[in-house]
Chain A
Amino acid sequence: AQKITQTQPGMFVQEKEAVTLDCTYDTSDPSYGLFWYKQPSSGEMIFLIYQGSYDQQNATEGRYSLNFQKARKSANLVISASQLGDSAMYFCAMRELRGGGATNKLIFGTGTLLAVQP
């Protein structure tokens, strides 16, 4: 069964430093997608970045990059030059594409609460 594991319940980082949030996944489907979402204290879910299992390069979106290590089944989020506004809960999620991706369902991890300190 597919599963997402985020082992860091909480993390601290100094402003302007880089931080890595860990995510490991388990799936038997060779075709899948990995997502990261940000949830600030206001509660909304904000999409950050996507990595497909067949993508050759690691995904990047501005200060966000995804360190995708397929053999290790890990998809860590790297935030460069942290800002105070990065303080939030971060969720890793996976979508299996078995059956043609007919549902686009996501499985979420339990999240990592990031606190950026000035």
Chain B
Amino acid sequence: NAGVTQTPKFRVLKTGQSMTLLCAQDMNHEYMYWYRQDPGMGLRLIHYSVGEGTTAKGEVPDGYNVSRLKKQNFLLGLESAAPSQTSVYFCASSPPGQGTYEQYFGPGTRLTVT
């Protein structure tokens, strides 16, 4: 199993450009998440999904959109990139339910907006 994969691994954008980050998981997990990681701030939740066709806002959703058309994929879009969106983006997935259901993380995408 590949687990959680993210495409691309690195990207440089100019201010105002748009792009889509792709997250794919092969563990049949219901839940998926997008985080951003900035120095000194830990990971912050951008958007999440609890199932195919559903999305919800997290802690820092402004400037981002998401879609979950297929259970295994979760897309993060930046419509008009800003330098403040320079960050490392992580996708994660988890099964539903309580207990030791940790989130499984992808390798991350390093995005620089100039």
> A106 to B107, Cβ gap below 8 A?
no
Question: Taking CB as reference atom, which chain B residue is nearest A31?
Answer: B98
- Cβ of A12 < 8 Å from any Cβ of B? no
> A104 to B101, Cβ gap below 8 A?
yes
- Cβ of A97 < 8 Å from any Cβ of B? yes
- Cβ of A64 < 8 Å from any Cβ of B? no
| Residues on the A chain within 8 Å of B31, using CB | 103-104
> B90 to A45, Cβ gap below 8 A?
yes
CB < 8 Å A-B pair total: 61
> A91 to B101, Cβ gap below 8 A?
no
**B54: min CB distance to chain A, Å:** 10
- Quick one: which of B4-53 are within 8 Å of A by CB? 31, 33, 35, 40-45, 48, 50
> B97 to A101, Cβ gap below 8 A?
yes
| Residues on the A chain within 8 Å of B43, using CB | 45, 91, 93, 106, 108
- Cβ of B62 < 8 Å from any Cβ of A? no
> B101 to A44, Cβ gap below 8 A?
no
- Quick one: which of A1-53 are within 8 Å of B by CB? 4, 9, 31, 33, 35, 37, 43-45, 47, 50, 52
| Residues on the A chain within 8 Å of B41, using CB | 110
- In the complex, how many residues of chain A place their beta carbon closer than 8 angstroms to a beta carbon of chain B? 27
> A106 to B108, Cβ gap below 8 A?
no
**B84: min CB distance to chain A, Å:** 18
Kindly identify which residue among B33, B35, B90, B102 contacts A47, using a CB–CB cutoff of 8 Å: B102
> B99 to A52, Cβ gap below 8 A?
yes
> B102 to A111, Cβ gap below 8 A?
no
- Cβ of A70 < 8 Å from any Cβ of B? no
| Residues on the B chain within 8 Å of A97, using CB | 98
- Cβ of B94 < 8 Å from any Cβ of A? yes
* Interface residues of A, Cβ cutoff 8 Å to B: 4, 9, 31, 33, 35, 37, 43-45, 47, 50, 52, 91, 93, 97, 100-111
